[in-house]
Structure 1
Amino acid sequence: MVKDLTVSPLDRQNILNNAYALEKLEEYLGLGGTLYEGEVLFTKQQLVEIFGVSGSTIEKYLASHGDELSANGYTVLRGRKLRSFKALMDVSVIDYGNKTPALGVFTFRAVLNLAMVLVESDRARVIRSRILDIVIDVMAERAGGHTKYINQRDCNYLPAAYQEFSYRREFADALNSYLEMGKVKYAIYTNRVYQIVFREKAQEYKQVLRLNKKDSACDTMYAEVLMAIASLENGLAAEMKAQSEQLDRKLLPSEVDVLFEAAEANPFLKPIIEDARVKMASRDLGFRDALHQKLEAYIQSVPESDFERFLGETSRSLEEQLSDPEILAVFKRLKDR
């Protein structure tokens, strides 16, 4: 989908939280700045020259987007910090000369933030275009060429997938043993589980992620989503068994429906399900450019820790994880539980 960074704080923050994209952008754009205490800083006067706008225009955006810019690195230097910074600078790029008691400065991240909202500048518009191109390139490069299975780069994915597979078998066995209904029950009640967790049927989920018919939906789900599904499947299997044994017969669909309604309202499951919805909706939009419309209320910016988790040096492809003895040991423990 086409992103308009000037109007979407969420899209802006997803880019600004991606340290790998910022590194490439800093190298590509070559905006200059002054290295101060390990970080490159820019004055307002330097941004006037970079963007070709007036100082009052930048002040306008500091007023309208102050909280966002401050969160992304805009700060005001005073006292000792100001004196040591000015010692590195040409007075001509300090807005009020050498006697100013305070000086607002922008980190590179804050400069990008300003470029994303600055509609009066053609140079900012060009930078926005390059930002989007470079972010796409970085995501593809770090994820091994595609993001369909970016979920599998998480070290928690394999244990969660194995557990969900195990509990799914128990759930299927419970449907087989305790529900009086034809084979269509497996698809119907799997969809019911998905709808409780993320409000979509399997086919809807596949459409949002643009998956092929042969693609497994579970293979693309994040560890937190798989654990929420496993928790539901495990609890429902136990409830079906207990009620069927109590009644000494198989359950009717209407009776199983009541169990599903109770599970959906269960306060113990609510935090797990809420967390799964936030993770799925936010990451799929940020990593896969996929919007789950039924979960729009749960979308947040992707935190910096998630970019490290799925794109960083410690994230690994599924093949790499499967060759790790420690991962295989985890599987053995799960198998023997």
Structure 2
Amino acid sequence: MAQDLTESLHERQNILNNRYVLEQAEQHLELGGTLYNGDIVFTKQQVMTMFEISDATIERYLSSYTEELKNNGYKTLRGTKLKEFKSLAFGTLINEGTKTTVLGVFTFRAVLNLGMLLTESESARLLRSRVLDIVLDVMAERSGGHTKFINQRDEDYLLAAVQEDNYRQNFTDALDNYVEGNKWKYGIFTNLIYQSIFKENATEYKKILKLNTKDNIRETMYSEVLNLIASFEAGIAHELKIASNSKKSRLTHKEAKALIQSFETHPLFNPLILNARTKMASRDLCFRDALHEKLEAYIKAVPEADFERFLGEKSKSLEEQLSDPETLAVFKRLKDR
């Protein structure tokens, strides 16, 4: 989907939180700047020249987006820090005034941030276009060229998948033993769990992620979502048994449905459901360019740690993980339980 960085805070922050994109952008954009305390920084005058904007324009953006720009590296230098910077900046302060006592500087990250905001600057528009190209290149390179199963690059995925599979068996056994009906009840009640957790049934989920008919949707789910599904399955299996034994007969579909739906409103699950919805909606939009419209209110910027988790040095495809003898041994032990 088209990305309008000038209007979307979380899409701007998703780029700025991705250190792999920042590294590539710093290398390819070659904006210059001065090395100060380990960061490349730019004076306000340099940024004005870079984007061909006036002092009034940059001040307006600094006022309107103060918190965002500060969070991404804009800072003011005074006293000793300003003196230190002046000694490093050589001739770059020529237009700042010889008696400057306070100086605003932008880190490279803050310059990109401002470039994503500016609507008056053609230079900023070109920068946004180049940055979006870099994002695509980095995602393709670090994810192996596809993101359908980017969830599996998380080192926690394998354990979550195996545990969920075990609880899934307990859940289907409970449906067999304690709920009336034919084989169609497995899909019906599984969809009720999905709708309780992330407001979509299996068909809707597959359409959003553009999955094939034969794709197993749980193989595309993040570990936190799988863990919550497992919790639902374990708890529901337990409650179905208790309710059926109390009734001394199998439950009707209506009775079982009411039991499952009650889980969504249980206070125990409220923070877990909020966490799962936020992670699914935010990560899928960022990594898979997939919008869960029913979860749109839960979308936030993906934190820096998640880029390390799914794109970093420790992230590996499932095939790579299973090629490791130690990981394979753990997997076999879990499957044999």
Query: Does 2:195 correspond to 1:206?
Result: no
Maintained 8 Å contact 1:91/1:97: no
The 5 Å alignment of 1:247-258 reads 247-258=247-258
C-alpha contact 2:45 2:96 (8 A) present in aligned 1? no
- Structure 1 counterpart of 2:222: 222
TM-score, with structure 2 as normaliser: 0.97
Q: Look up the equivalent residue of 1:109 and give its one-letter code.
A: R
Deviation at 1:297, TM superposition (A): 1.4
Q: Which residue does 1:273 correspond to in 2?
A: 273
Contact 1:43/1:95, CA 8 A, preserved across alignment: no
* Residue in 2 that maps onto 1:263: 263
**Whole-Å Cα distance in 2 between the matches of residues 328 and 293 of structure 1?**
38
Q: Which residue of 2 aligns with 1:173?
A: 173
Q: Among all aligned residue pairs of Structure 1 and Structure 2, give the percentage whose two residues are the same amino acid.
A: 60
2:98 is paired with a residue of what secondary structure?
helix
Task: Give me the whole-angstrom Cα distance separating, in 1, the residues matched to 2:277 and 2:94.
Answer: 47
Unaligned runs of 5+ in 1: none
SS at match of 1:99: coil
CA distance in 2 between counterparts of 1:74 and 1:323 reads 45
> Counterpart amino acid of 1:247?
K
Q: Is 1:86–1:98's contact at 8 Å kept on the other side of the alignment? A: no
Q: Higher mean Cα deviation, 170-179 or 192-201?
A: 170-179
Asked if the contact 2:34–2:40 (Cα under 8 Å) also holds between the matched residues in 1, the reply is: yes
Residue by residue over 1:191-216, the C-alpha shift from the partner in whole angstroms, topping out at 9 and shown as x without a partner, is 00100110000010011111111111
Residue 103 to residue 94, structure 1, CA distance change in 2 (3 Å): farther
2:309 matched to which residue of 1?
309
2:44 is equivalent to residue 15 of structure 1: no
1:77 is aligned to 2:88: no
Cα distance in 2 for partners of 1:275, 1:291 equals 17
CA displacement, residues 115-162 of structure 1 (integer Å, 9 cap, x when unaligned)? 001111111100001111110110111001111110000000000001
* 1:335 CA drift (Å): 4.2
- Could you tell me whether the CA contact under 8 Å between 2:192 and 2:261 is conserved in 1? no
User: Which residue of structure 1 lines up, in the alignment, with residue 288 of structure 2?
Assistant: 288
Distance in 1 (alpha carbons) for counterparts of 2:95 and 2:78 = 14
Whether the aligned pair in 2 keeps the contact of 1:26 and 1:108 (CA below 8 Å) is yes
Code of the aligned partner of 2:262 = A
What per-residue deviation string (whole Å, max 9, x for no partner) do you get for residues 292-321 of structure 1?
111111111000000001000011111111
SS of residue in 2 equivalent to 1:89:
helix
Q: CA deviation at 1:331?
A: 2.9
Offset at residue 261 of structure 1 (A): 2.4
Residues 30-57 of structure 1: per-residue CA shift (max 9 Å, x gap):
0000011111000011112211112221
Q: Could you tell me which residue of structure 2 aligns to residue 236 of structure 1?
A: 236
TM-score (ref. length: structure 1): 0.97
Residues 45 and 94 in structure 1, CA contact (< 8 A), matched pair in contact too = no
Contact 1:21 1:138 in 2 (8 A): yes
**Equivalent residue of 2:272, what SS?**
helix
- Measure the CA separation in 1 of the matches of 2:31 and 2:311: 26
Aligned equivalents of 1:43, 1:270: Cα separation in 2:
47
Determine the structure 1 residue equivalent to 2:36: 36
Q: Secondary structure at the match of 1:90?
A: helix
- How far apart, CA to CA, are the structure 2 residues paired with 1:303 and 1:264? 26
SS of residue in 2 equivalent to 1:76:
strand
- Equivalenced residue count is 337
Contact 1:157/1:222, CA 8 A, preserved across alignment: yes
Aligned residues: CA RMSD: 1.3
Deviation at 1:245, TM superposition (A): 2.0
Partner of 2:197: 197
Distance 2:299 2:321 in 1: 29
Residues 94 and 192 (structure 1 numbering): CA distance in 2 closer, same or farther, change over 3 Å? farther
Q: Is the CA contact (8 Å cut-off) linking 1:282 and 1:302 kept in structure 2?
A: yes
Q: Match of 1:115?
A: 115
Offset of 1:92 from its aligned partner?
A: 4.8
* Residue of structure 1 in register with 2:163 after alignment: 163
Q: Deviations 1:169-193 (Å, cap 9, x if unpaired)?
A: 1111111111111211011001001
Measure, in 2, the Cα distance between the counterparts of 1:170 and 1:249: 19
Retained in 1: the 8 A contact 2:189–2:257?
Answer: no
Q: Secondary structure, in 3 states, of the residue corresponding to 1:77?
A: strand
- Quote the Cα distance in structure 2 between the aligned partners of 1:36 and 1:124: 24
